[in-house]
């Protein structure tokens, strides 16, 4: 079978990081990502097949703007309606079809775009040695970007499921997918979900 995985099959001990697939980004929400629902079944397929080595990150706003630091405080003055004291608490939860995989899948909450800054993801990966991370989720040009660059900086083989990431604007999604596949061509691989699952050792 032809594969877009230039560096060969995905190792058995690889980890799937699903970025911020929360109802906060689903259809009808304030931060709606248009391709969220179309992407969800592919992410769920990966999570179902590899639940024990899946990590779901969640972007967690502060309780109130005053609890944020620096420019984040200004950001949440603008987006006060998504702070935890005002937003419907169901919106910060994972999409239900993904939440049902927890456990064995893990959830790591983060207060910023990157899941790496607070140390919990590094700690998890140090307890579950792996060389490869498979990345899915939202948004291609924000939290997925921060997750991917952190993985690259740490030397992980980084595989993006090309049909299982999405953003709020097609233009920036397309631009980032081009950036991943060209500027980072030695460190990042893009492949469709079907290709990833077919080449991920059981």
Q: Which domain holds residue 22?
A: 15-61+89-198
Chain centroid to Cα 194, Å, comes to: 18
Q: Taking the model in full, what pTM does it have?
A: 0.94
Cα gap 4→85, rounded to integer Å: 45
pLDDT at 128 (0 to 100): 84
Q: Is residue 72 part of a domain?
A: no
Cα–Cα distances in Å, from 185 out to 10, 44, 148, 158? 17, 27, 13, 10
What phi and psi values does residue 134 have, to the nearest 5 degrees?
A: -105, 125
Q: Is residue 7 part of a domain?
A: no
Q: Is residue 145 part of a domain?
A: yes
Give the number of domains in the chain.
Answer: 1
- Which residues on adjacent β-strands are paired with residue 160? 135, 190
pLDDT at 201 (0 to 100): 81
Whichever domain contains 168, its CATH number is 3.40.50.850
Q: Is residue 115 part of a domain?
A: yes
What phi and psi values does residue 148 have, to the nearest 5 degrees?
A: -65, -45
- pLDDT of the chain, 202 residues: tens digit per residue: 456 898 999 998 899 999 999 999 999 898 999 999 999 999 999 999 999 999 999 999 999 999 999 999 999 999 999 999 999 999 999 999 999 999 999 999 999 999 999 999 999 999 888 999 999 999 999 999 999 999 999 999 999 999 999 999 999 999 999 999 999 989 999 999 999 999 998 6
Q: Is residue 174 part of a domain?
A: yes
Question: By the 8 A CB rule, do 130 and 97 touch?
Answer: no
pLDDT at 85 (0 to 100): 95
Cα gap 169→174, rounded to integer Å: 9
Q: Is residue 33 part of a domain?
A: yes
Sign, CA dihedral 131-40-93-79, equals positive
Q: Is residue 123 part of a domain?
A: yes
Q: Is residue 1 part of a domain?
A: no
């Amino acid at each position: 079978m032809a594969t877009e995985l230039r560096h060969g099959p995905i190792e058995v001990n690889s980890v799937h990081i699903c970025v911020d697939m929360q109802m906060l980004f689903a259809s009808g929400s304030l931060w709606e990502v248009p391709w969220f629902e179309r992407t969800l079944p592919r992410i769920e397929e990966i999570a179902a097949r590899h639940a024990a080595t899946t990590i779901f990150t969640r972007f967690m706003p502060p309780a109130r703007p005053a609890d944020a630091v620096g420019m984040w405080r200004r950001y949440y003055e603008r987006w006060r309606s998504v702070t935890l004291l005002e937003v419907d608490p169901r919106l910060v939860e994972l999409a239900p079809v993904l939440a049902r995989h927890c456990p064995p899948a893990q959830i790591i909450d983060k207060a910023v775009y990157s899941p790496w800054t607070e140390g919990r993801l590094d700690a998890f990966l140090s307890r579950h040695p792996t060389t490869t991370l498979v990345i899915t989720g939202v948004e291609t040009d924000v939290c997925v970007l921060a997750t991917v660059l952190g993985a690259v900086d740490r030397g992980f083989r980084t595989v993006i499921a090309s049909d299982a990431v999405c953003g709020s604007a097609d233009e920036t999604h397309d631009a980032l997918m081009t950036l991943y596949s060209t500027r980072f061509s030695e460190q990042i691989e893009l492949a469709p979900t079907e290709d990833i699952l077919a080449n991920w050792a059981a």
